[in-house]
């Protein structure tokens, strides 16, 4: 307890509310889906950081957050949590985390990835591009169309998937095929789903802030419904959750709150 208070006092004592942390999802909350952050949002975050500690918790890897928020993303937030917090930074310094491959082991991983690639090879969808499995530190990301598709192609796939339930069916098959792997399959974006060990959802990032002694933790996300990748952190007992419909909505709620 004393350690927590000391840590907090030394790190965020320059803020108006030093015991408050505000965490944000990225796609659909801070930025339009897979697009760049707008200047108005950067301005709002800068002002907010004078009052509270701020962080983001995204499903994507850090490379994508650098593309969307800026190459200096690590300087813009007190906490940067990529891959749900499996890649984590506090004030620009990396924090230690676990890894997907260490959890699963090479042999079980090979079985899983071979199955996924065979399933995608047999999928009859309008177009396919490249990078069907993206290997990350804390998860793999699986995309039936392939992550190399263009923006118009991803929008088309999203519509097609909504009608035909491609990802939903895929996830059902994987759950049946690998019941003993202890994995969660999370459809968070437009063209893919994330696969990670149970419990490694966005609540994972909370373990990195446990010792900071925050009294209030806010979270803003757009996929807060059950099954969405913001659901677990949004409904966590230690978190005050805010469900948003767009980056503009995020700004509106922030103005009301702070």
Which residues of this chain interact with ligand M1P, rule CB under 6 A?
A: 26-27, 33-34, 58-60, 64, 141, 188-192, 194, 229
Of the candidates 14, 19, 27, 180, the residue annotated as catalytic is 27
Task: Compute the distance between CA of residue 97 and CA of residue 117 in angstroms, rounded to an integer.
Answer: 28
Tokens for 38, please give them. 């707008």
Contact 257, 218 (CB under 8 A): yes
CB of 84 to ligand M1P, least distance (A): 8
CB of 110 to ligand M1P, least distance (A): 21
CB of 81 to ligand M1P, least distance (A): 12
For ligand M1P, the closer of residues 19 and 194 by Cβ is 194
CB of 208 to ligand M1P, least distance (A): 18
CB of 7 to ligand M1P, least distance (A): 29
For ligand M1P, the closer of residues 24 and 214 by Cβ is 24
Residues 6+ apart with CB under 8 A from 253: 220, 242, 244
Residue with the closest Cβ to ligand M1P? 189
Task: Compute the distance between CA of residue 49 and CA of residue 57 in angstroms, rounded to an integer.
Answer: 16
For ligand M1P, the closer of residues 20 and 31 by Cβ is 31
Contact 247, 31 (CB under 8 A): yes
Strand 183-186 versus strand 20-24 pairing type = unpaired
For ligand M1P, the closer of residues 9 and 63 by Cβ is 63
Contact 100, 106 (CB under 8 A): no
Of the candidates 19, 25, 194, 201, the residue annotated as catalytic is 25
For ligand M1P, the closer of residues 51 and 158 by Cβ is 158
Enumerate the H helices of the chain as residue ranges: 2-12, 39-51, 62-69, 73-76, 100-104, 106-121, 151-164, 166-177, 231-234, 247-257
- Number of neighbouring beta carbons within 10 Å of residue 173: 13
Tokens for 215, please give them. 């009294």
Local structure of residue 55 (DSSP, 8 states): E
- Catalytic residue check, 27: yes
- What are the catalytic residues? 25, 27
């Amino acid at each position: 307890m004393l350690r927590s208070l000391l840590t907090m006092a030394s790190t965020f004592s320059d803020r108006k509310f030093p015991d408050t942390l505000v965490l944000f999802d990225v796609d659909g909350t801070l930025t339009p889906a897979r697009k760049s952050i707008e200047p108005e949002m950067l301005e709002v975050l800068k002002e907010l950081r004078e009052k509270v500690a701020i962080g983001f918790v995204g499903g994507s890897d850090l490379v994508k957050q650098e593309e969307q928020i800026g190459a200096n993303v690590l300087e813009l937030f007190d906490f940067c949590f990529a891959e749900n917090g499996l890649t984590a930074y506090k004030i620009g310094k990396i924090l230690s985390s676990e890894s997907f491959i260490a959890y699963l082991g090479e042999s079980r991983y090979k079985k899983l990835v071979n199955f996924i690639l065979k399933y995608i090879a047999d999928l009859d969808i309008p177009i396919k591009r490249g990078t069907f499995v993206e290997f990350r530190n804390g998860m793999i990301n699986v995309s039936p169309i392939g992550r190399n598709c263009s923006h118009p192609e991803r929008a088309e796939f999203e519509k097609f998937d909504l009608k035909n339930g491609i990802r939903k069916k895929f996830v059902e098959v994987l759950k049946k095929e690998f019941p003993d792997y202890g994995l969660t399959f999370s459809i968070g974006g437009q063209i893919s789903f994330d696969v990670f060990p149970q419990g490694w959802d966005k609540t994972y990032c909370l373990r990195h802030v446990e010792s900071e002694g925050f009294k209030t933790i806010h979270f803003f996300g757009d996929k807060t419904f059950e099954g969405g990748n913001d659901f677990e952190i949004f409904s966590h007992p230690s978190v005050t959750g805010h469900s948003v419909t767009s980056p503009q909505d995020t700004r509106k709620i922030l103005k009301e709150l702070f």
